[in-house]
Amino acid sequence: MNEISLMSRVDFFIPVLVIMGIIVLYEYMIKPNIIQYAWTRYFYLALTFRIMACFCSLIFYSYTDVGYSDTYNYFTFAKGISNVFRNCNLIDGFKVFYVDYDDLSLTVKSFLSNQENLIAIYSNNKFFVFLTGLISFVTFDSYLSISLIYTFLGFIGNWLIFHTLCKLFPTLKNYFLFFILLYPPFIFWSSGVVKESLSICCIGILFYLIFNINFTINMWGKIVLGSISVFVLYNVKSYLLFTFLFALVIVLFLIFIRSFQNKYVRLIVFCLFMAVFFIFIYYDFATFFLSEIFQSIFNQILIISNSQLQAGGSSYDLGTINSDFGGIVRYLVASVNVSLFRPYLWEVDKPQLLLSAIDSLFISGLFMSFIFLKWSVGRIKEILKNKLLIFSFVFIIAIACQIGAISFNFGTLLRYKTPIYPFLFSFFLIIYQERLKKMELLINCWYKKLYYKSYN
């Protein structure tokens, strides 16, 4: 299969039908269930910005790393799957999903790419590429239409997070609007034919089903929707699902601890659990370090790190990883640092990394202000009493540990960190809500003084 461009002639009229379908879907299915009348303008505003981000991502992937980006590779193989459905029967089309590439017939292989790198990418991302192939078949291989569909799915998940947070903290609605629905790095890197769009959709649905206080979906609907989200997220990015469940288990554990009325009983139960946990972790890690699985992971990390450093570009180095408990902890701390606070301004070597460096600087400022202005025993107790803050903090740190340890490239890291943004900003907005209220009152007082002075 020869190299193909992202855009074709069908992209000039099929996307119009897709947008019309999105509008119909919104009016008859989404709006009656998860949109309040007063929030309609927020929905249209955020959706407009997300569609603009979709077009920007199209321009970016069309002129940057053409032929090498994950988006290009996904679409190239997906277009081959679409040709299988179009030229063979449905059974052969679905065989591409559940049968290994080497076991496919020569007829089916003739429509697919025979490039080794694309075959490897498909083998590691089979569900997402196959789903993209199905959408490509329905939309007549229109890249822009596929991109709009994934962008809309990611937006729905994003909207569900916004909807849930606004129900819990209505006074922060305008802040949530910007930092969750309109924040530029987040909406750009979660738009287009990328796995992050589908991941955000599934995370948003699960978050909505678990934390929303006013459900408008019946029990069976919740079970079906939650099961589909778990299945899709497991097949697209399983580590996000496990991290989500891990954060949820931590929340349930702390709720269980708080169920004891006596504070001394709570302290004893908490200490016992933590002692058992650390003993288990210590001995389990000791066994894990000596296993072949760890050695395989350890060697794979070294290979990826060395290859990225040799390739140059926007790669980063976390230092030498030692195969002991202390070495792993130091490596994970470095992973959190690179995920949240890097690239630094002096590490920028490409124009597209400048915005990422500014974003990292902003996040660093939020953490520094929290440490110097809000860090106290009382504040920690307040966080531990709020299940949403606990969930967000655990989810942020756990994801940061993982993506920083495996990316080794700032460009890849930008996409991997997108699921962090909604929970990161909601964490700080909830903590600073009292300070934000005071700031709003102060601004209103200044505005009234200026208004009256101008008319007197």
Taking only the tens place, the pLDDT of each residue in 12-42 is 888 888 888 888 877 777 666 666 655 778 8
Using CA atoms, how far apart are residues 320 and 326, in angstroms rounded to an integer? Answer: 12
| Entry pTM | 0.86
- CA distance readout (Å), 448 to 52, 142, 206, 297, 445: 36, 53, 43, 62, 5
Model confidence over 89-126: pLDDT tens digits?
A: 778 777 777 777 777 777 777 777 666 666 666 677 88
Using CA atoms, how far apart are residues 34 and 28, in angstroms rounded to an integer? Answer: 11
What pLDDT, on the 0 to 100 scale, is given for residue 1?
43
- CA distance readout (Å), 380 to 255, 427, 432: 16, 13, 13
pLDDT band at 448 (very low <50, low <70, confident <90, very high): low
What pLDDT, on the 0 to 100 scale, is given for residue 453?
59
- Residue 133 and residue 76 in contact, taking contact as beta carbons nearer than 8 Å: no
- CA distance readout (Å), 279 to 4, 166, 401: 55, 40, 21
Using CA atoms, how far apart are residues 402 and 92, in angstroms rounded to an integer? Answer: 37
Q: Looking at the DSSP assignment, which residues form a beta bridge with residue 409?
A: 315
Model confidence over 158-197: pLDDT tens digits?
A: 999 998 998 888 888 888 999 999 999 899 988 888 899 9
Q: H helices within 126-172, ranges in order?
A: 126-138, 143-168
Model confidence over 301-348: pLDDT tens digits?
A: 555 555 555 455 577 777 666 666 677 778 788 888 888 888 888 888
Q: For residue 200, is pLDDT > 90?
A: yes
What pLDDT, on the 0 to 100 scale, is given for residue 162?
92
Model confidence over 425-444: pLDDT tens digits?
A: 999 998 888 777 777 677 76
What pLDDT, on the 0 to 100 scale, is given for residue 286?
53
Residues of the chain above pLDDT 70, percent: 79
